[in-house]
A and B are shown apart, each in its own frame.
Chain A
Amino acid sequence: MDTIFTRGPSINSRLALALALSVMLIVVDHKFDGFSSTRVYLNSLISPIQYIANLPSVMLSESAQRLTSHQQLLSENERLTNRLLMMSERLQRFEILQTENVQLRKLLDAPVKPEMRKMVAELMAVDNNPFSQQIVINKGAIDGVFPLQSVLDDRGIVGQVMEVGTTNSRVLLISDVTHAIPVRSVRNNIRFIASGSGSLDELILEHVPHSVDVKEDDLLLSSGLGQVFPEGYPVARVSSVVRDESLPFATVMAEPLARLDRLKYLLLIWPELVQEKPEEVLPPYKFLPQDTAQQEENGQ
C-alpha cells in the first residue's frame, strides 16, 4: 500500500471493519429480525430514489394514455360496460346467497363473517433482485397498511405485505422461494401448502402423498389456516401432477391465478377490522346490489 494517503485507518482495517459490520447486520436482520422498526425509517428515507426511478414509466404510461385513440376508448368502454353487466348479474345472485348464508349461519349459531375493508393500491416498483420476488406498492403506514396484510389482484392472491414505509410498502409475492401459503382444493377440501418456486408462474405443493386425490385443473383457495391470509380467496390452479413412485411424495405444480408478471392495480384488505354486527348485515331479499350499497351509505 502506498504512503501518500495515510489519513485514518489503513484500507485493510477499513475492509475488516466493513465486513464485520455487514456480517453483524446480516445476522441481526435475518436471524433475529432486529431491524423491523428501523427499516420503516430507512424505507421512507430512501423512497425519493424509488419515486425518481419510477418517473420514466409513469411518464410513459401517461403519454400512452393521452395518445389512445377515440376508437380504442370506445371499444374499451363497450368491453367494460359488458363486463360490468355480467358482474352485476353475478353479484345479484351473490346477494341472495349471502343473505341466505347469513340466515343459515344464524340457525346454526355459527359466527357470521364480517365484511372486510378494502383499498386499491398501485404498483410502484418491481425489484430486479433475481433471488427474491417483491414489489413495492404506493400505500404505506399513513393509509393503515400493516405487516402480513394480504394483497390481491382481480384474479387472486398476490402476496403479503412484508415491510411498511410511511408512504409505500413492500409486498412479498406468493411465488418467492421463502413464501408458502396454506390452501385447500375446492373439489374435495384437501389441504395443501403451496410454496413459491422462484419463478412467477409456478407454485409447488409440498409433501403430497401419492394416494391423495388431486388432479390437474383443481382450483386451490386459501384455507385461512396460517392466520395470515383470509379464507376463501383463489390462489392457484393445479397445472401438473406427476406420481413417480420412486420419490417419497408426488410432484404437484400449480399455476398462480393472479397475473404476477403484469400487476398494475392491487387490492389491500383489512380482515376483521369492521366490528361484528350480525343483526344488521343486510336487509333480507334486496336484490339490487347498487341500491343496497347506496342505501347503506346515505341511509342512516
Chain B
Amino acid sequence: MRVQSRFFIIPASLLIALVLQIMPLPLEADVYRPDWVLIVLAYWSMALPNRVNVGIAFITGLAMDVLLGTALGIHSFALSISVWVLVANYQRLRNYSVWQQAIVIGLLSALYHLVVFWLQHLLTDIYFLFDYLWPTFTSMLLWPWIFWLLRKSRRQFSVT
C-alpha cells in the first residue's frame, strides 16, 4: 500500500489540480480561480526536482491545452518556463519562509499568465485586461495551504 502510494501521489495530485482548474464555477468567481496546476507543479519541482521538472511540466501543459481548447503547446510553453525557473533555483527557494515563497509564486504566476497572453496574442488579436492577473493574487494566498498539505502528504507517504 505504502509502496504504491509513493508512486501515485504526484500524478494523483496533478490530476486533482487539473480537475480543479477546469471545474465549472459561477462567472463572478471564475476570474479569481487560482492556478492550481502551477501551484502543485511548483511544490513538487521545489521539493523533488529530480522527479518533477520541465518534462512533467510540458506534459501537464499539453493536457491543459487539450482541456482548455487552446492551440497545442501554449500552456506547455508557459508551464515549462515557470517550472524551469523554480528548478534552477530550488536550493535557494527552499530556504525562504513560506510567505516569501508565496511572493515568488505570485511573480511566477504573473509570468505564466503573461506568457500565455503573449502567445495567444500572437495567434489571435486579443487585448489585455487586468482581470487576467487576478489569479496571481489568489495563487499567492493559496500557496501556504497547498504547501502545508502537499508537504504533509509527501512526508506521510514518504515520496522521494
Interface residues in chain A, defined as those with a beta carbon under 8 Å from any beta carbon in chain B: 1-2, 4-5, 7, 11-12, 14-15, 17-19, 21-26, 28-30, 35, 39, 42-43, 45-46, 49-50, 52-54, 56-57, 125-132, 134, 162-163, 170, 177-178, 198, 261
Of residues 84 to 133 in B, which have CB atoms within 8 Å of A's CB atoms? 84, 87-88, 91, 116-117, 119-120, 123-127, 129, 131-132
- CB-CB under 8 A from B62, the residues of chain A are 25
Task: Flag if A23 contacts B84 (CB, 8 Å).
Answer: no
Q: Is the CB of B24 within 8 A of A57?
A: yes
**A-B complex: 4 closest residue pairs judged by Cβ atoms:** A25-B73, A22-B77, A26-B73, A18-B80
What is the interface of chain A mostly: helix, strand, loop, or mixed?
A: helix
Given contacts A19-B77, A53-B19, A128-B33, contact A30 B123 (CB under 8 A): yes
Asked whether any CB of chain A lies closer than 8 Å to the CB of B72, the reply is yes
Contact (Cβ within 8 A) B27 A5: no
B91 touches A2 (CB 8 A): yes
Main secondary structure of the interface of B (DSSP, over half): helix
A residues less than 8 Å from B139 (CB atoms): none
Report the nearest A residue to B89, measured CB to CB.
Answer: A1
Query: A25 contacts which of B76, B120, B124 (Cβ < 8 Å)?
Result: B76
Q: Are B74 and A54 in contact (CB under 8 A)?
A: no
Chain B CB within 10 Å — which of A7, A22, A24, A39 has the most? Answer: A22
Measured between beta carbons, the chain A residues less than 8 angstroms from B33 are: 128
**Chain A residues within an 8 Å CB radius of B21:** 128
Q: Quick one: closest A residue to B91, CB to CB?
A: A2
> Could you jot down 10 A-B contacts, CB within 8 Å?
A21-B73, A24-B73, A26-B77, A26-B119, A43-B66, A53-B24, A127-B22, A130-B131, A132-B120, A177-B125
A129:B15 contact, CB within 8 angstroms: no
Across-interface contacts of A177 in B (CB, < 8 A): 124-126
CA distance A53 to B54 in the complex (A): 26
Among A28, A52, A130, which residue has the most Cβ atoms of chain B within 10 A? A130
A-chain residues with CB within 8 Å of residue B69 when the two chains form the complex: 127, 129, 132, 134, 162-163, 170
CB neighbours of A39 from chain B (8 A): 66, 72
Contacts A22-B77, A53-B19 given; does A29 touch B50 at CB 8 Å: no
Is there contact, CB below 8 Å, between B71 and A26? yes
Contacts of B80 in A (CB 8 A): 15, 18-19, 22
Quick check: is B49 within 8 A (CB to CB) of the other chain? Answer: yes
Contacts of A21 in B (CB 8 A): 58, 73, 76
Closest to A51 in B: B19
Among candidates B24, B63, B66, B77, residue contacting A125 with C-beta atoms closer than 8 Å: B24
CB distance from A129 to the nearest CB of B (A): 5
For A134, the chain B residues whose CB sits under 8 A away are 69
Instruction: Indicate if the CB atoms of A56 and B72 lie closer than 8 Å.
Output: no
Given A15-B84, A49-B67, A131-B116, 17 other A-B residues pairs in contact with their CB atoms under 8 A: A5-B49, A11-B54, A14-B53, A23-B73, A28-B72, A29-B72, A49-B15, A50-B22, A54-B24, A57-B24, A126-B24, A127-B68, A127-B69, A128-B24, A128-B68, A129-B69, A177-B125
Q: How far is the CB of B65 from chain A (nearest CB, A)?
A: 8
CB B22 to nearest CB in A, in angstroms, measures 5
Cβ proximity bits B46-66 to A, threshold 8 Å, 1 near / 0 not: 000110011101100111001
The answer, yes or no, to whether B149 is at the interface (CB within 8 Å) is: no
B38 at the interface (CB under 8 A from A): no
Q: In the complex, are the beta carbons of B126 and A15 less than 8 A apart?
A: no
Interface membership of B5, Cβ < 8 A: no
Known interface pairs A7-B50, A128-B33, A131-B124; A18-B66 also in contact (CB < 8 Å): no
One of B15, B30, B123 near A26 (C-beta < 8 A): B123
Which of chain A's residues have a CB closer than 8 A to the CB of B58? 18, 21-22
Return chain B residues, CB-CB under 8 Å to A12.
84, 88
From residue A130, how far is it (CB to closest CB) to chain B in Å? 6
